[in-house]
Structures are given as structure tokens and as C-alpha cells.
Structure 1
């Protein structure tokens, strides 16, 4: 009987707060309060309060056994070892240390050659040598830039990155 009184008192209090929130035109908050206010009455009417009490008693009994029973500690150690093994194998698997009987693939020799998927209309096979020459020229230019930046060494004042920007500005006449 006391459980029913407490449940319905909580429900009435929650409905009152929901009404105040609705009066202040905070309808979303009022709806949330109303939904939460219905929980105690619903739990009482469905008979779940005794179930909750039983669950609480069982958790309390388990906690007492946790402190005093070495068998429970052995179970906790086994669970911790299991979790540790699962986490470790997941970590090792992601790092690629375990190949599972397969040999690891050798890295590619270099970047793939530059080839368009479709040749421009009317050029056919004649355009291939020109594109290959352009690609080789671009690779040489990149290599020269890398060598130039690597050659500066210790005397670099940190402004080498701005050389590209200066070149672009000169081309545009700025």
C-alpha cells in the first residue's frame, strides 16, 4: 500500500512540473516531464516494483559474495584474462603482425603511370607518346624541386616553402 502511495505521489508531482513547463510554453520539456512522470505509476500497475526489489536483493547478495568468496574472485580474474586476450589479439591483428599463414604483399615499386581512361576524340594512339613525355617532364620537375629543397640543408631560413607562392604571384603580375 505504501508503494502505491509513493508511486502515485511521484506521478502527481511530475505531472505538476510538466504543467508548469507547458504554462511557460516549453512544450518539449513539458512532454519529457510528463513521460517521466508516468513511469512510477506504470511500474506499480505492472507489478515491476517487486521485481526491482528482487533484482536489488540479488545484486546485494552478489556484492557480499564478491567480497568474501574466493570463487567469485577467480571468476573475475578469468573474465579479465579473457578480455585482455581479446583486446590483445585485436590490436595485434590490426598492426599486421599476424599474417595467418599468408606472406605479406610486397610494396609497389612506385606510382602508377599516368594514363587517361579514355583518349580524347580524334587523337587515338598518337596522343600517347605526347602524354608520356609530359608525365616524364612533370616527374623530372618534381624531382628537381625536391633536390633543390633538400640541398638547402642547414642554411635554410624556413622561407623555402614561400618560393612557390612567390613564383605564382610573379606569373600573375602581383
Structure 2
């Protein structure tokens, strides 16, 4: 009962502020303030405030929130452990199939990237670009 009274008072104050704002010819702002002011009354009318008050003071509801928190903690912990181990799911899928398609196909590209070596096709392409630029600069006498 107290929560409903407080929500009604907040809505009445908000509508008063909206009226003053509309009097000052700021109609868009006044409409926005009125919309915010009507939210608490709408929550009271739908019964959400009563439900929230019953839930906030219910020990069983708090135990339920605690159980949900433990479940969330277990999900996140197992996910973190799974990532740290390197993904058990992928290994389990790979073990089931003995005929993998090119199992070492990506190994050379990973190895070159770690050593810092650049692939030769890119170096050749870069050389062609510089020769074109050199030709253009020589043409202009630079």
C-alpha cells in the first residue's frame, strides 16, 4: 500500500513538472517528462509493484535468486576451464573421425607467422609496385 502511494505521488509530481515545462513552450520535453511520469502509475495498475514488494520480502524468492546465481557461476566456470584447456569439444569431434581432410594444412602458415618470415608472393608483388612508382617518378624527373 505504501509503495502504491509513493508511485502515485511521484507520477503526480512528474505530471506537474511536465505541465510547467509545457507552459514554457517546450512541448517535446514536456511530452517526454509526462511519459516518464506515467510509468509508475502504469506499474501500480498492472500489479508489478505489488509483485515486486512480495518478491523483495520473500525468503524463498531470495533462495531462488541464489540458486540461479550458483547455476550461472557453474556455467561460466566450466566455460572458462574448457577454454583454458584448449577446447575439449573440438578434440572430441576430431577423435571420432580418423580420416581428417589435410590435418596439417594450416601448420605451415602458423609456423611462418610465428617466425616472422613473409611469404614470397607478397614480396614479389611489392617489388612490382615499387618499380611502377620508380618509373613514374623518373618520368617526372624526381
Would you say the 8 A contact 2:11–2:37 is kept in 1?
yes
- TM-score normalised to the size of structure 1? 0.45
Counterpart of 1:8 in structure 2 is 8
Counterpart of 2:91 in structure 1 is 98
The 2-side partners of 1:21 and 1:89 are apart by 57
Determine which structure has greater relative contact order: mean sequence separation of CA pairs < 8 Å that are 6+ residues apart, divided by chain length.
Answer: 2
- 1:153-164 counterparts in 2 under 5 A? none
- Offset, 1:5: 3.6
What secondary structure is seen at the aligned counterpart in 1 of 2:58? helix
- Offset, 1:32: 2.6
Would you say the 8 A contact 2:55–2:61 is kept in 1?
no
Q: Which of 66, 69, 82 lines up with 1:89 in the alignment?
A: 82
What secondary structure is seen at the aligned counterpart in 1 of 2:93? coil
What secondary structure is seen at the aligned counterpart in 2 of 1:100? helix
What secondary structure is seen at the aligned counterpart in 2 of 1:98? helix
Q: Which stretches in structure 1 are left out of the alignment for 5+ residues?
A: 67-71, 111-138, 147-161
The 2-side partners of 1:8 and 1:14 are apart by 10
Q: Alignment length, in residue pairs?
A: 117
The 2-side partners of 1:142 and 1:7 are apart by 73
Higher-helix-fraction structure? 2
Q: Once the two structures are superposed, what CA deviation does each residue of 1:90-148 show, in whole Å capped at 9, x if it has no partner?
A: 5734xx973722533514999xxxxxxxxxxxxxxxxxxxxxxxxxxxx6x928949xx
Counterpart of 1:37 in structure 2 is 37
Q: Once the two structures are superposed, what CA deviation does each residue of 1:19-39 show, in whole Å capped at 9, x if it has no partner?
A: 344434261x33332121112
Would you say the 8 A contact 2:4–2:49 is kept in 1?
no
- Offset, 1:84: 2.0
Q: Which of 114, 124, 127 lines up with 1:142 in the alignment?
A: 124
- TM-score normalised to the size of structure 2? 0.52
The 2-side partners of 1:144 and 1:57 are apart by 71
Counterpart of 1:157 in structure 2 is none
The 1-side partners of 2:60 and 2:13 are apart by 30
Tell which structure's C-alpha radius of gyration is larger. Answer: 1
